[in-house]
Amino acid sequence: MSDATAAPSATKADPTGRDYGSSNGQVLLKVDGLVKYYPILGGLLRRKIGDVRAVDDVSFEINRGEVFGLVGESGCGKSTLGKTLIRLHPPTAGTASLDGEPIFEKRGKDLKRLRRRMQIIFQDPVGSLNPRMPVSDIIGEGLLAQAEKENGWGDRKVRDKRVGDFLEAVGLRRDYARRYPHEFSGGQRQRIGIARALALDPQFVVCDEPVSALDVSIQSQILNLLLDLRREFNLTYLFVAHNLSVVQYISDQVAVMYLGRIVEVADVQRLYSEPRHPYTVALLSAVPDPDPRVRKKRLVLKGDVPSPAAPPSGCRFHTRCWLREHLGNPENCVTDDPALREIGTAAGHRVACHYAERVSDAVVERAAALQPAIVADVAEEV
């Protein structure tokens, strides 16, 4: 464990730079069979009449120092997953451990101590800062809550110094501590949110779409800041986002979620170059290319995401799956729930599809060709 009172200037960077974490392969966070249901209450007596299956049996591991990207459409459960992991929402079932210590069993003092080690950065730079508190209190509040004899955070002077240190660490001026959130721009506010999370010296940080509410010009600044800070403070990120390019830029490992399930996991190059789940393939085909001359063949999924309160039987993606259609609607897509399995392309590349081995460039091209009207539309737009 790192020294809780370490000043941000005490750089603990690894000389190998960006991929120092992924190389040592030590598991920091392990999630096993995590389930999070939200009850649907109905009727006069507010009885439970069903569940929204936000996260349904999700297992994965994050190595120390890695950025684990989590992508998926809105409402697929990726934010819920992150917030459940750091104990903002109680899990319905499953286990998780941070550095070997169970996360979900902690209560009272133990939970509070655990909270220092896992933090969160929010999406909305406006809503994540209390408009009635000066920055010194916003960042210092966690220090005060976590004050102990050893770290001396109970002392106002120590706290103020640390607040200043971390404002500088995220590229802001020390004296901004006296100001209120409304005096800052979106990017600056996001930096304050990052400083708040890092001031507690966490090991693991959930980045819940930290750049999706920002201007494009500022997104890259914040992404690079996050990468720098990861090196400086030995951080491990769970990076939740729906922007595939952002995830590709920042992640070491990427998991794709659909309706509360992880449908594909792989390291970033593998996933973006050789996607094997039909959903991943469709998502990637929708990434816009900055070059206007490139005519992309885009696989357009039919219909909407089904309700997570009543997910489809068998494979959850079968209602919208182009591959299933292409293969002549095999029966087991509807009846059997595919497990997340290694498909032999590379170690750690796991896909939850019965027919993952059938996905190839040729198949994708043929499937795309079957929807000429749509492809033409996309080409027109581009």
Partner 1 sequence: MAETMRPAETTELGVGPLVPPQLPLAGEEDFEIQLESLNQWQLAWRRFKRHRLALIGSVAFGLIVLIAIVAPILWPYDVTDIPGAKTYGGDAPGLAPLSRLFGTDFGGRSVLQQVLVGARISVEVGVFTMLIAASLGVAVGSIAGYFGGMIDGFLMRFVDLLLAIPFLFVILVAARFFGGGDVVTLILIFGLLSWPGLARLVRAMFLSLREMDFVQAARAVGVSDLRIAFRHILPNALGPIVVSATLIMANAIVLEAFVSFLNFGIRATDVSWGNALSNSQGYLLNGNWWWPFFPGMAIAISVISVNFMGDGLRDALDPRARE
Which residues of this protein are in contact with partner 1, per CB under 8 A? 83, 86, 88, 111-112, 115-116, 118-120, 122-124, 127-134, 138, 141-142, 145-146, 171-173, 178-180, 182-183, 185, 187-188, 191, 193, 196-197, 200, 217-218, 221
Q: Which is nearer to partner 1, 91 or 278 (CB)?
A: 91
Q: Which is nearer to partner 1, 127 or 348 (CB)?
A: 127
Least gap, CB of 169 to partner 1 (angstroms): 11
Tokens standing for residue 158: 């120590």
Contact 27, 185 (CB under 8 A): no
Contact 20, 231 (CB under 8 A): yes
**Which of 285, 254, 287, 280 is CA-nearest to residue 269?**
254
Least gap, CB of 137 to partner 1 (angstroms): 8
**Which of 91, 93, 22, 7 is CA-nearest to residue 61?**
22
* Cα 190 from Cα 203, distance rounded (Å): 19
Q: Which is nearer to partner 1, 139 or 247 (CB)?
A: 139
Q: How many residues does the chain have?
A: 382
Least gap, CB of 125 to partner 1 (angstroms): 9
Burial of residue 147 (number of CB atoms within 10 Å: 0-12, 13-18, 19+)? middle
Q: Which is nearer to partner 1, 229 or 271 (CB)?
A: 229
Strand partners, 258: 261
Determine the Cα angle at 364 with ends 363 and 370, to 5°. Answer: 90
* Cα 120 from Cα 232, distance rounded (Å): 17
Helix (H) or strand (E) holding 261: strand 261-267
* Cα 93 from Cα 74, distance rounded (Å): 23
Least gap, CB of 185 to partner 1 (angstroms): 6
Q: Which is nearer to partner 1, 196 or 316 (CB)?
A: 196
Q: Which is nearer to partner 1, 40 or 145 (CB)?
A: 145
Least gap, CB of 323 to partner 1 (angstroms): 38
Q: Which is nearer to partner 1, 46 or 157 (CB)?
A: 46
Q: Which is nearer to partner 1, 80 or 280 (CB)?
A: 80
**Which of 238, 232, 217 is CA-nearest to residue 82?**
238
DSSP string, 55-116: EEEEEEEEETT-EEEEE--TTSSHHHHHHHHTTSS--SEEEEEETTEESTT--HHHHHHHHT
Q: Which is nearer to partner 1, 63 or 188 (CB)?
A: 188
Least gap, CB of 176 to partner 1 (angstroms): 9
Q: Which is nearer to partner 1, 134 or 306 (CB)?
A: 134
Least gap, CB of 62 to partner 1 (angstroms): 18
Least gap, CB of 73 to partner 1 (angstroms): 21
Dihedrals phi, psi of 364, to nearest 5 degrees:
-60, -45
**Which of 82, 72, 76 is CA-nearest to residue 279?**
72
Question: Which residues 6+ apart lie within 8 Å of 31 measured at CB?
Answer: 58, 59, 60, 61, 85, 94, 95, 96
Least gap, CB of 53 to partner 1 (angstroms): 20
> How many other C-beta atoms are found inside a 10 Å radius of the C-beta of residue 333?
23
Least gap, CB of 140 to partner 1 (angstroms): 10
